[in-house]
Amino acid sequence: MAIRHILLVALPLLFATVPAQAQDEDEAPKRTRLILGPQLSPSWPGADKYSIGPYVDLSRERVGTEFTFEAADESFGAPLITSGKFAFGPAFGFVGKRTAADVGANLPKVGLTIEAGGFAQVSPTPSFRLRAEARRGLGGHDGFVGEVSADYIARDGDDWLFSIGPRVTLGDGKYQRAYFGVSPAAAAASGLPAHDIDGGVHAVGLTAGYLRQLTPSWGFAVYGRYDRLVGDAARSPIVRQLGSRNQPSVGVALSYTFGGGR
């Protein structure tokens, strides 16, 4: 899956999770970094058309501690449990609806999907992180989707950070059939050949990101991601005739850091 829009409605919830700046006397003050801007990504999985959505991230750390690395394309969520080099927590995603008009053929609609699940990650060294996500579609495709990723991280504290790493995306049969399958009935209605598909890996890719602090408060962030559909998804007539195996995404944003006794 190459589309990972973060819900605009999640932004107020993000702020709601940030505690007030008042701290206990024995607790170090904290600072917050907000990243906000636009991102361009495929309109639906397998599309050759693109849509603009929000690129949003919110991080919070104690003063004197660098912000924890977060890849620009990972799902929304924060660790609930951290133990040494391991972390676990919820993961949420969003996929916009796909209509027959969007595809250009009389295919069944796939409704708006909110994906909810969790992630686990491990950082063997400060320069390397492994992460796995699993999410269930609530409405829309109603399937399970997952991703395994690895990132190499180079940084100079919070002054600048560069990351790059591979991605492998997979889905169960419900997810795959929703976006890449063509049932006999849909084939008769659309004129496309029927295409049955089961679950498995449907995309492999690469993501790179860069953050730069320009002043103590302001900075910028940019990322690029490229996914290539593989297997039965790549062979789908929806992709071959009406979409594309190539699934690039790009985002650019400003960052603003505040709090911590500034």
- Chain segment 159-172, per-residue pLDDT in tens: 999 999 999 999 99
* Sequence spans of domains, the chain: 10-259
Q: Are 90 and 114 in contact (CB under 8 A)?
A: no
User: Is pLDDT above 90 for 9?
Assistant: no
Q: How far apart are CA 197 and CA 236, in angstroms?
A: 9
pLDDT at 90 over 60: yes
Residue 199 has pLDDT above 60, yes or no: yes
Q: Which CATH number fits domain 10-259: 2.30.30, 1.10.3470, 2.40.30, 2.40.160?
A: 2.40.160
What are the residues whose beta carbons fall under 8 Å from the beta carbon of 26, sequence distance 6 or more?
A: none
Q: How far is CA 21 from CA 12, 68, 118, 157, 259, in A?
A: 17, 19, 28, 23, 7
Q: What is the enclosing helix (H) or strand (E) of 250?
A: strand 246-259
pLDDT value of position 261: 64
